[in-house]
Structure 1
Amino acid sequence: MKESFFNKHYNTPKWLKDKLSRRQLLKSAAGTSALAAIPFSSLTFAQKEDVESTLNAEPWLTLNAVLNHLLPNSEQGISATDIKATYYLYQLIHQQPTATDEINFIYKGVGWLNSYSQKKTDKVFIALTPTDKEEVLRDISRSTAGDNWISMLISNLYEAMLTPPSYGGNPNGIGWKWLEHQAGFPLPEAGERYFELPQRSKQAATASKHIIPTRNTFAGKPRTQGTTKA
């Protein structure tokens, strides 16, 4: 059977059950100081252009459309754009020690979503009206895989809203201000984030057999990325 959200043989994997049940922010079983994320405001002009070029192509256009549909502009509160949810997800995939299974599921979901959207409407997701987007997302949410995929993106929205800005989302603490939340201090800066701490680096060394090479967006060189994320 062709892979899709509606594959009857799909079962929620343990790593996803753990992520969706706890919804704890910024947790990982492995990390390394080589994985330092770079806040967008600190990038050079050329680096910003590279990131923006990536985010203005697929699969990021679809992911951005889904995130902004799940948390749209409104008079009631902040939006996915306000909390830089798409950039936070980009950082999660490209800079943080995120499990390859999680990354693959995010990307596969984009393909499955667009395939279903084209089958139902003859259009890809980003070309749909807000009403049609809502209908398509409600359709896929009735499947186990679709519900998992949407729930995972909602979890990432929460993270982007609540995380310290050094992780890529929540610029200037906009999420905290909206929630009237006082964050703990001191806040982590680049070089002090959870995956850069010495204990994490030691864990990464002992788990080296689980480390795979991945592309460094800014340097164009292979780097390491953890494959285990709790």
Structure 2
Amino acid sequence: MKRREFIKFSTFTFIAFKSTEVFAKVFTKEDLLILENLFEILFPKTKEMPSSKQFGALSFLVKTINHSSFNNSDKSFVLQGLKDFNSSFPNFINLEKQKKEKLIYEIVNSNDYAQSWLSKLVYYGIEALLGDPIYGGNKNQIGWQSLRHSVGYPRPKLKYGQKL
């Protein structure tokens, strides 16, 4: 193999590896359970607003994070933060709801990294609540209805910039 071909091949392989490295990661059942619990704490059902389960926050995140257009640094941050959270609080799932809420409150107020990570989950939760249902959240337009939002038209017909 000639030197230039080797350099091109090496560069291509490195770029291909780096771009798929993040997308090769998947959520485990435990990860999904932790995220579901966290979303329920971050977006509880209230008199006026639906819970994260009702509007599909977890479903939205899973569908969106696995799409090629999802921001790689956000994906890495969400996945690494989940891994760090799980290793720091391995019994989180087994805690009572009030203890889970207290734990989240404590780590948000004492740890900048945890605060940033949970803020990122809130960001994607808000997208799930208010985005068009075509993207996997806002089930049955429940987020819009809870805010008495008038739907804008035209609405997307395809996801993520696909061509008609």
TM-score, scaled relative to structure 1? 0.55
Task: Give aligned-pair identity as a percent.
Answer: 29
1:93 matched to 2:88? The reply is no
Instruction: Name 1:83's counterpart in structure 2.
Output: 55
Please report how far the alpha carbon of residue 95 of structure 1 lies from its aligned counterpart in structure 2 after TM superposition.
2.1
User: By how many angstroms is 1:98 displaced?
Assistant: 1.2
1:186-197 correspondence to structure 2 within 5 Å: 186-190=154-158, 193-197=159-163
**Greater relative contact order: 1 or 2 (C-alpha under 8 angstroms, separation 6 or more)?**
1
Deviation of 1:194 (Å): 4.2
Aligned to 2:5: none
Q: Cα offset for 1:197?
A: 4.9
TM-score if structure 2 supplies the norm length?
A: 0.76
Aligned match of 2:144: 176
Residue 73, structure 1, aligned to residue 45, structure 2: yes
Q: Which runs of 4+ in 1 moved over 4 A?
A: none
Cα-to-partner distance string for 1:66-85 (whole Å, 9 max, x where unaligned): 00111123334200011110
**Over alpha carbons, which structure has the higher Rg?**
2
Conservation of the 8 A alpha-carbon contact between 1:96 and 1:195 = no
**Code of the aligned partner of 2:78:** I
Q: Map 1:18-37 onto structure 2 (within 5 A).
A: none
Shift of the 180–56 alpha-carbon distance from structure 1 to 2, 3 Å rule, reads farther
1:9-158 alignment, distance < 5 Å: 57-118=29-90, 123=91, 125-141=92-108, 142-158=110-126
Q: Which amino acid aligns with 2:87?
A: S
- Compare 70-79 and 129-138 and name the one that shifted more: 70-79
Aligned length: 138
Shift in Å, 1:104 = 1.6
- SS of 2:45 mapped into structure 1: coil
Deviation at 1:55, TM superposition (A): 7.2
User: Cα RMSD (Å) of the superposition?
Assistant: 2.0
SS of aligned partner of 1:140: helix
